[in-house]
Amino acid sequence: MALTLRNWNWLLTILAIKSPPFRIEEEGWGEFDMQIVLSAPDKDHSITHDLNFQSSKYESKHVITFKNPKPPLLAQLRESGPVPGDENGVKKRGQEESKKKKRVDKNVDMEKLADGLQKLGEDDLLQVVQMVHDNKSSDSYTKNDIERKDI
* Residue 115 clears pLDDT 80, i.e. is over it: yes
Q: Please tell me the pTM assigned to this model.
A: 0.38
Kindly write down the DSSP assignment for every residue of 32-88, as one continuous string. Answer: EEEEEEEE-SS-EEEEEEEEE-SSSS---------SS--HHHHHHHHTTS--TTGGG
pLDDT at residue 10, rounded to an integer: 41
How far is residue 8's CA from residue 30's CA, in Å, rounded to a whole number?
13
pLDDT in tens, 93-103: 444 444 555 55
* Residue 85 clears pLDDT 80, i.e. is over it: no
Which has more pLDDT, 145 or 8? 145
* Residue 46 clears pLDDT 60, i.e. is over it: yes
Contacts of 42 by beta carbon, 8 Å cutoff, 6+ apart: 70, 72, 73
Among the ranges given (12-16, 54-58, 83-87), the one the predictor scored with the smallest mean pLDDT = 12-16
How far is residue 9's CA from residue 21's CA, in Å, rounded to a whole number?
25
